[in-house]
Chains A and B, each alone.
Chain A
Amino acid sequence: MNVSSAVVRVHGLVKQHGRGQGRVRAVDDVDLEVPEGQMLAVMGPSGCGKSTLLHLLGGLERPSDGEVWLAGQRIDTLSERALARMRRRSVGFVFQAFHLVEELSAAENVELPALLAGRSRRQARRRASQLLERVGLADRARHLPSQLSGGQRQRVAVARALVNDPLVVLADEPTGNLDTAATLDVLRIFEELRSAGQTFVIVTHDERVAATADRLVSMRDGMFVDDTRLAGSHTRGLGWLIGLED
């Protein structure tokens, strides 16, 4: 693989929690490259270090050792301020718990990263409208998160993650709190985005979600134990993958 085309690259990545006897290696000497346009799924049981890996890729946590590169820039040595700028420009997050601002409407939540990135209110609003339409929530733009279903909230979170056209979307159990229909909605959106060339790293322990990815990495005790390219995900419908279609 051509190194220069890798959007995300990590080398010898280690993350330790605790000290002395209680020290735990949440991520243990991991190497990874994610090329542009790839949808990478990271699977593993709870506590295997998946979420920590995602936080390290997005600069939300600092590694104990190793390197993290994003679009050719090493980010683990950046200041907090520079990391924040990098997140604005290059990373979109989608969380299992949605993490929407409860007192803001769907549109206002989607606008927020654009405003933080310095876009004008008009530009931010226009972009938010486009994205809400894209995720099928144009008619819910003024609704508060509490007035939306779980699936709708996650779609708002996806729209929010995309508002600054990030290089990579980091999704942490994006369907973990969703029912089957809502899961299908979210995966359809991811599929559309992947077709448009969006790079994804999705952490999940749902095999059906992982099956939609281009590549599947399995994790256990902080280490990668398997790295598989998936060939069939494009050829079968999503409904089949999650058991809704024959």
Chain B
Amino acid sequence: MGSIVLIVRLVLADVRRHKVQAAMLLLAVTVATATMALGLSLRGVSDALYEQTRAATAGPDVVALSGDAGPAVTSALASLADAPEVVAHHGPYRVVYADLTTRDSTSSPVVVHGFAETPGAVNRPLVTSGHWVRSGGTVLERGFATALGVGVGDHVTIAGRSYPVVGIAVTAATSIYPWAAQIGPGGGPSDYSGLAWMTRSDARTLASSHDLPVTLAMDLKLRDPAATEAFLDAHRASAVTNFRSWQFTAEQDMVILKSSQPILVVGSWLLSFLAITGVAALAAGRAVEQTRRAGLLKAVGAAPGLIATVLLSEYLALALAGDTLGLVIARLTVPAIASPTASRIGDAAGPGGATVATATVLAVAVAVLSTLRPTLRAMRTATVTALTATARRPRHRPWLTALSALLPTPLLLGLRLTARRPGRAVLQACSTATTVIAIVALLTLYAQPERSYGLNGSSVLPNLRDVHDRRLMLAVTILLIALAVVNTITLTWTTAIEARANMAIARTLGATPGQISAGLSIAQLLPSLPGSVIGIPLGVGLLSLFAAGNPADPPSSWLLGAALATLVATAALTALPARLAARRPVAQTLSAETA
């Protein structure tokens, strides 16, 4: 008990002394775990929303769809309804293919389902506002209505005739907006379409008055909802063109999130990598202090286990706090991300047990991977040596020193500073590469041709999936850039602190503050250069692994611009810490080093 109290007190004292570092670790772990938890939760949330919508709307187990509406189809559907596996059915009902235009001239393909004024036992759309269909009025599917910006009381024009919108409803019998059509006229491919309901007679009138394509559909409830595959196998030979099982429809809901999941999951890997990079830079910067601390604890009789616990606990505790915060953020944001359309209802459950466990493993990994090495070094150092620990002496690199002697002073200083801590240079290069990977992915996403949902590709109704993906990618990229910014500032400051004695010596030998400042910036820019160059092919490669189809490449000028912008941003970011470090009083630094 005494040991635990001691550990807690030491950890709290250290966190209080290093508030900025603690905040940085917390931030890095929070964004990484939140993104990962979001990515891993999407499928579960999507499934949960479908399940809740299905339960609330008496969703069918199978929807039978035919390419036309002839007597053979009617007969085939009737025989399906009489099949022994079927316990209830709804329909057959007309599906009319038309165009819908709103008052502000937004046009979209629409499929109109002709339903009874009193819904049956199967597929009872849940009215979320207004009321159910009545003669002369139409009910719009909620996802469709939201995209159109239409509400109850508005008027829409379907196939040239104006209808008041009397209600907004959801159903689990069709895929979410904009895949309500499921099949096109004649069983062919369908356009992006919204869903509207009318009374049976209105639907019949609509179809006949404009000679619109019509198909038939029927909703079936099976004795065993899980046995949809067996039912479909048994009835595939009928005149019915197509079947949609509830499992298929649930799976289709994920189509809109197809790119969201890799964006979030791969994004979380990259964020975790940046978190490790940043925390490792911090831990390296504090290595000497930690070694002295370990020496002090050894000197007063602490066992190796206690020392390791003290040194690791701070990072672990902060990482777990960040993990908790990340999971809470994921829980709060998952409804908006997992359901970009309004086609489903229900409460999105939070991250499941597996997701929580994975995010926690990630948080612990960030803490351990970034701090294990300095912790082990601190533990292995003999007590007396540890008590007087100084920064590890950099290696002598004659060829690099000779090469730098040929360069102007800022480059000479920059190259020598880079060579002092090659591990840190690698971290900076990796941090830059990660940022460029994200930017390349974002640019590639923006370079894709956008197929809007409006009539004939009109851009008035934007492609929800593309918009969603772009927003997510933008958010992930912003988070990555934010962490990379923190990393660059941390690495510059750590480099400056470690090299302060040498920089003070250089000042006494005639280096100007400007040259020192430029040297410190260059020390970060040198590794950033290969980082940004390699980030481009890595970004393209990573995208090709996860992108659907063959994505169009962004123009080379965009990619080069991104790499250059990253370098310019790095230079700008390093300027302030480098300038502050270069302005440190020389005499004071030299006196401190002597003491």
Contact = CB atoms under 8 A, between A and B. Distances in A.
Given A95-B590, A99-B590, A105-B396, A87 B509 contact: yes
Contacts of A115: 405, 409, 412
Interface in B532-560: none
Interface stretch (B64-72, B165-173, B258-266, B511-519): B511-519
Interface residues of A, number: 39
Given A61-B585, A81-B512, A101 B505 contact: yes
B510 A117 contact: yes
Interface string A105-133: 10010011101111001001000000000
A120 to B, nearest CB: 8
Nearest to B393: A102
Contacts of B401: 104-105, 108
A80 interface: yes
A116 B514 contact: no
Nearest to B404: A115
B506 interface: yes
A103 B396 contact: yes
A84 interface: yes
Interface string A88-104: 11000101110111111
Nearest to B595: A97
A103 B420 contact: yes
Contacts of A60: 507-508, 585-587, 590
Contacts of B508: 58, 60, 87, 93, 99
Contact of A104 (B396, B406, B510, B513): B396
A144 interface: yes
A170 B511 CA distance: 17
B510 A103 contact: no
B587 A116 contact: no
Contacts of B409: 115-116, 118
A85 interface: yes
A164 B506 CA distance: 14
Max chain A Cβ within 10 angstroms of own Cβ: one of B393, B406, B513, B590 = B590
A87 B510 contact: yes
Contacts of B420: 103
Contacts of B405: 111, 115, 121, 124
B593 to A, nearest CB: 7
B398 A146 contact: no
A55 B593 contact: no
A160 B501 CA distance: 17
Interface in B369-407: 393-398, 401-402, 405-406
A99 B585 CA distance: 16
Contact of B502 (A51, A101, A108, A121): A101
A42 to B, nearest CB: 16
B506 A116 contact: yes
A97 B491 CA distance: 28
Contacts of B504: 99
A104 B396 CA distance: 6
Given A101-B502, A105-B398, A112-B509, A81 B393 contact: no
Contacts of A84: 507, 510-513, 515
B590 A112 contact: no
A118 B591 CA distance: 28
Given A97-B594, A103-B396, A80 B513 contact: yes
Contact of A103 (B395, B406, B585): B395
B512 A85 contact: yes
Contacts of B514: 81
B501 A99 contact: yes
A74 to B, nearest CB: 19
Given A87-B508, A93-B508, A115-B409, A81 B394 contact: no
A99 to B, nearest CB: 5
A102 B593 CA distance: 13
B507 A103 contact: no
B593 A116 contact: no
B583 to A, nearest CB: 8
Contacts of B398: 105, 108, 142
A117 B409 CA distance: 9
A54 B33 CA distance: 55
B263 to A, nearest CB: 44
A7 to B, nearest CB: 17
Contacts of A100: 505
Given A60-B587, A101-B502, A103-B394, A95 B594 contact: yes
A102 B514 CA distance: 23
A90 B39 CA distance: 64
A151 B594 CA distance: 17
A112 B506 contact: yes
Nearest to B395: A103
B594 A88 contact: no
Contact of A61 (B402, B509, B515, B587): B587
A71 to B, nearest CB: 15
B153 to A, nearest CB: 72
A164 B42 CA distance: 68
B393 A121 contact: no
Contacts of B513: 80-81, 84
B429 to A, nearest CB: 21
Nearest to A95: B590
Max chain A Cβ within 10 angstroms of own Cβ: one of B409, B419, B512 = B512
Given A99-B505, A105-B398, A146 B393 contact: yes
Contacts of A80: 512-513
Max chain A Cβ within 10 angstroms of own Cβ: one of B420, B513, B587 = B587
B510 A85 contact: yes
Contacts of A160: 509
Nearest to A118: B409
Given A85-B512, A99-B501, A121-B405, A55 B396 contact: no
A60 B514 CA distance: 16
A204 to B, nearest CB: 15
A116 B510 contact: yes
Interface in B488-512: 501-502, 504-512
B392 to A, nearest CB: 10
Contacts of A81: 512-514
Nearest to A124: B405
A60 B505 CA distance: 11
B388 to A, nearest CB: 15
B500 to A, nearest CB: 12
Nearest to A170: B508
A92 to B, nearest CB: 9
15 contacts: A52-B587, A55-B586, A80-B513, A81-B512, A81-B513, A84-B510, A84-B513, A89-B510, A99-B501, A99-B505, A99-B593, A102-B394, A104-B396, A112-B506, A116-B511
Given A60-B585, A88-B509, A95-B590, 9 more contacts: A55-B586, A55-B587, A93-B509, A103-B396, A108-B398, A116-B506, A116-B515, A118-B409, A121-B402
Q: Which 7 interchain pairs have the tightest Cβ spacing?
A: A88-B510, A84-B512, A113-B509, A121-B405, A103-B394, A97-B594, A55-B587
